[in-house]
Amino acid sequence: MRGTTSIPEQLDIDVADALRLHVVRSGRGAPLLLLHGFTGSAETWVPLRASLESQFTILAVDLPGHGLSDSPADPARFALGAFADDIAHVLDALGVERVAVLGYSLGGRAALQFVLRHSDRVAALVLESTSPGIVDPVERAARLASDMALADTIERDGIDAFVARWERLPLWDSQETLPVEKRARVRTQRLRNLPQGLANSLRGAGAGVEPPVIERLAKLRVPTLLVAGALDAKYTALARIVEASLPGAHRAIVSDAGHAVHLERPFEFADLVERFLDGVSSETGQWR
């Protein structure tokens, strides 16, 4: 893995409905789009960017309601299908025809929507800890009710109380051994989000709102790497399900990592991404 000293560009790009998305662009080479998870932002990817931007032009986007992107008042504007079209507008504005796409958690679900709607613009796909949606209607209804209640709580109690509660979820237990400084950086980034933005992200793009896409994956012909942490049993199982449904996909399960592999095992994660994309470039030719 090779690092650079690239100075990132901070870009604000207007898309549909007067929505402005914040994009951090850095590096050189074939374009690689990075989509963060819920409560994240483009800052999520700073360590990975340092590893990959000598080979790739990194485009790290703040999802609606996160980071420095706009936070619409209408939750429907957060829908991942709408965001997929927004990404196409961003690429048009930047003069980019095709990209490799890396999405984590919520960003992985957004990446799936993008490739389903704009497959001709995706050269390769990396999905980290990504769900194809909740198929069981009872489970989905329960998740919807839970997310709606959580959205109301975020707006009522504020960002500090929410982040404190969020960080106590069992999903993050594997991060207890991380250095205090690293956990503090993640917390600081989360606290920069606005309560309304996170609440409306849940209301408009939560796992209970978005329909499952598992039945639509068979039509895709995009080289795909599925990454999950061995300590995250739910998402390692989901990676197996997606692998069986998506032609050309293969799994990489990272030991001693939970949900946020890029945070917990950053060198292994960057190496996996680099080797996968190098292989795609060698086999199919460099995208631009």
Q: Please report the DSSP string for 51-83 in residue order.
A: HHTTTEEEEEEPPTTSTTS---S-GGGG-HHHH
Q: Average pLDDT of each block of 10 consecutive residues along the chain (288 residues)?
A: 67 94 96 98 94 94 98 96 97 97 98 97 98 97 97 97 96 95 96 97 97 96 97 98 95 98 97 94 70
Q: What is the CATH number of domain 9-134+211-284?
A: 3.40.50.1820
Q: What is the DSSP letter of 29?
A: S
Q: Which residues contact 274 (CB under 8 A, 6 or more apart)?
A: 1, 51, 52, 55
Nearest residue to 30 (alpha-carbon basis) of 3, 65, 59, 1? 59
pLDDT, one tens digit per residue, over 161-190 is 999 999 999 999 999 999 999 999 999 999
Domain boundaries, the chain: 9-134+211-284
pLDDT, one tens digit per residue, over 71-116 is 999 999 999 999 999 999 999 999 999 999 999 999 999 999 999 9
Res 7: pLDDT: 86
Dist CA 205 CA 276 (whole Å) = 29
Res 1: pLDDT: 43
Q: Characterise 222 by phi-psi region: left (phi > 0), alpha (psi -120 to 50), beta (else).
A: beta
User: Whole-model pTM?
Assistant: 0.96
Nearest residue to 132 (alpha-carbon basis) of 41, 226, 197, 199? 226
**Which single residue is written with the structure tokens 């800890």?**
129
Q: Which residues contact 168 (CB under 8 A, 6 or more apart)?
A: none
Phi, psi angle pair for 169, to nearest 5° = -65, 145
